[in-house]
Amino acid sequence: GAGVSQSPSNKVTEKGKDVELRCDPISGHTALYWYRQSLGQGLEFLIYFQGNSAPDKSGLPSDRFSAERTGGSVSTLTIQRTQQEDSAVYLCASSRQDAVYFGEGSWLTVV
């Protein structure tokens, strides 16, 4: 597609359940980022993929969070045993050189 595509756009889940969020970056973009934005807060870096290099996972808040990127394209962010503080919008972005392009986000609510 023309832009970064994320799914689901909205997810309501019960505390303790696992969730998977998907990101389909712009074709040809080698860099892929996940960010999180909680209500009223700034954007928080989670994880960075660049080509075939090992991902930078330094922003993941706990070991309940993990992400993978298959075939250098689609990425999945997994949150295990969700907690209420995980409620946020999860934004995926991709870039080829300098400009960074974002998806519409996945809005996660943990009840």
Partner 1 sequence: KQEVTQIPAALSVPEGENLVLNCSFTDSAIYNLQWFRQDPGKGLTSLLLIQSSQREQTSGRLNASLDKSSGRSTLYIAASQPGDSATYLCAVPSNAGNNRKLIWGLGTSLAVNP
Give the bridge partners for 11, in sequence order. Answer: 108
Of 20-28, 43-51, 64-72, 76-84, the window that binds partner 1 (rule: CB under 8 A) is 43-51
104 contacts partner 1 (rule: CB under 8 A) = yes
Question: What are the strands, taking DSSP E only, across the chain?
Answer: 5-7, 10-13, 19-24, 31-37, 43-50, 65-69, 75-79, 88-95, 100-102, 106-110
In angstroms, what is the minimal distance from the CB of 104 to partner 1?
4
> What long-range pairs does 44-51 form, CB within 8 A, spacing at least 24?
46/77, 46/90, 47/77, 49/75
Q: Which is nearer to partner 1, 33 or 65 (CB)?
A: 33
Q: What does residue 54 show for φ and ψ, rounded to 5 degrees? A: -65, 135
Q: How many chain residues touch partner 1 (CB under 8 A)?
A: 25
Q: Which of residues 76-95 bind partner 1 (CB under 8 A)?
A: 91, 93, 95
* Closest by Cα among 32, 26, 10 to 90: 10
Binding partner 1 (rule: CB under 8 A), the pick from 1, 42, 63, 71 is 42
Q: How far is the CB of 35 from partner 1 (least distance, A)?
A: 8
Query: Footprint of partner 1 on this chain (CB under 8 A)?
Result: 6, 31, 33, 35, 42-43, 45, 48, 50, 53, 56, 58-59, 91, 93, 95, 98-105, 107
